[in-house]
Amino acid sequence: MPNGWTESASAWIADMGEQGDFGRQFVLDAPMLERIRGRGFTNALDVGCGEGRFCRMLRQAGTRTIGIDPTETFIRHARERDPDGDYRIGRAERLDFSDGTFDLVVSYLTLIDIPDLAAAISEMARVLRPGGTLLIANLTSFNTAGADKGWHRDDKGELRFSIGHYLEERVLWMSWRGIRIRNWHRPLSTYMSLLLRQGLELRHFAEPVPYGGDPAKAARYRRVPHFLIMEWEKPSRAAATAI
């Protein structure tokens, strides 16, 4: 089933630039890096790395990073932009790494793109070493449940955000500035149950607010939680044995 990424990759790269869009630059980057810096992570896997932007940020933070993505245009661009980086064609649902390879696995706005979410989460947990961290940034399920209507003005002219069919998992096609890609709406319970099923332990949960940028854009991100950040830990072998 086509997902739009191959056709939209060049437009995406042009739209993102090196700074990223508003949500990445002014909402997610700082709190994501805060969960990484000073933690002693030696090696990381960025699942769905796209054009490699966050991989480069991880490497600048001192963490050796491999980025994987199924879209060849993204991997080619990442290699051109960062010749010393390690970027590979790969899919989240079948990671080509041994068990327990990474201290840190990152999913930065990629879970919404993955059709077989259960397989992807299982694979991310598998390649994480005991005691390692799975760090996730994702669109909130409130956000994706509002994709059909979202921001609009009511009959009094007041700006509102509407959601619908929250519990119904479904495909969404999102279009803007020459980009047309497939996302998935899933309720939060779907994500949480799949992560818990892997025996992972939740260590951090946040709905970050803007810390800069255009005040008009920031106001919308403050009115409706746009993103969430979760940090999950894979129990050590000793802890797992005790359980």
CATH topology of domain 5-242: Rossmann fold (3.40.50)
**Cβ proximity of 66 and 88 under 8 Å:** yes
Q: What is the phi/psi pair of residue 136, to 5°? A: -125, 130
Q: How far is CA 36 from CA 42, 53, 60, 74, 132, in A?
A: 11, 16, 11, 24, 12
User: How is 59-98 classified by DSSP, letter by letter?
Assistant: HHTT-EEEEEES-HHHHHHHHHH-TTSEEEE-BTTB--S-
Length of the chain (residues): 243
Given a contact cutoff of 8 angstroms between Cβ atoms, the answer to whether 102 and 63 are in contact is no
Count of alpha carbons within 13 angstroms of residue 215, beta-carbon side: 0
Q: Where do the structural domains in the chain lie, given as residue ranges?
A: 5-242
User: What are 119's two structure tokens?
Assistant: 């397989």
Q: Which amino acid is at 70?
A: P
Return the closest-CA partner of residue 68 out of 20, 23, 21, 120.
Answer: 120
pLDDT at position 1 is 56
In whole angstroms, give the CA distance from residue 80 to residue 165: 42
Q: Each residue's pLDDT tens digit in the chain (243 positions)?
A: 579 999 999 999 999 888 999 999 999 999 999 999 999 999 999 999 999 999 999 999 999 999 999 999 999 999 999 999 999 999 999 999 999 999 999 999 999 999 999 999 999 999 999 999 999 999 999 999 987 777 888 888 888 888 889 999 999 998 989 999 999 999 999 999 999 999 999 999 999 999 999 999 999 899 988 999 999 999 986 454 444
What whole-number distance in Å separates Cα of residue 201 and Cα of residue 192? Answer: 10
Structure tokens at 164: 């619908």
